[in-house]
Amino acid sequence: MLKGGIPSKRECLLLLRQLGVDEKVVKHSVAVSRTSLEIANRIRKNGVDVDTNLVEVAALLHDIGRSEVHGIEHGRVGGEILRKLGYHDSLARIAESHVLCGVLTEKSSYRSSIKNNDSSTMTIEEKIVCYADKITLENRKTTLKDRFDKWFRQYGRSSILTRAFHRSKEIEMELNLLVS
């Protein structure tokens, strides 16, 4: 593996298991990868430049931070893990940005670790993985509404979750325009 490279799918799955990522999270990541790749291929067919290999691999690794933490910080931790392992920065950015689709708060320690603070500065690959993660509950597809309703019941209708829901809807609309 070259420093700054992109691992193979096999290497990703091996790494997740070596780091002790729960098998449910691994299955979720495989499902997110499958959905991400479907979206990326549809967008690419319409002439938009999308790095499908990056999308597929980054989706497999988007929850790597769950090997250490499970809250909102798992994205930041995932980015740190990927950088320490010498993987390409684009993988780390996707791990970092997928949690809230680019929505940050002043209180969040995320602010210091992520350069992009809204979805307009996210790459197409970051948006695809973020969106695919939001429409994948465990290892099955769902809707943004159903996914966020579950979070609203679980964590309350906080301003950050509400903003993340609206940002996710914006990304959904943007991606839908690119696949039609």
pLDDT digits (tens, 9 = 90+) for 134-148: 999 999 999 999 999
- Give the Cα separation of 43 and 154 in Å (integer): 33
CATH code of the domain containing 169: 1.10.3210
- The total number of structural domains in the chain stands at 1
What SS3 state is found at 2?
Answer: coil
pTM, to two decimals:
0.89
pLDDT tens-place string over residues 44-73: 999 999 999 999 999 999 999 999 998 889
- Asked whether residue 100 carries a pLDDT value surpassing 90, the answer given is no
Give the phi and the psi of residue 123 in degrees, each rounded to 5: -75, 165
Please report whether residue 1 resides in a domain.
no
Owning domain of residue 23: 9-179
The reply to whether 2 falls in a domain is no
Alpha carbon distance, N-terminus to C-terminus of the chain? 37
- Domain membership of residue 99 (yes or no) is yes
* DSSP category for residue 106: S
**Domain assignment of residue 4, yes or no:** no
Per-position DSSP letters for 30-86, written without gaps between them:
HHHHHHHHHHHHHHHHTT----HHHHHHHHHHTTGGGGT--STTHHHHHHHHHHHTT
Residue 3 lies in a domain: no
Residue 33 lies in a domain: yes
| Domain-located, residue 110 | yes
Domain assignment of residue 78, yes or no: yes
Q: What is the mean pLDDT of the chain?
A: 89
Mean pLDDT of 7-31: 97
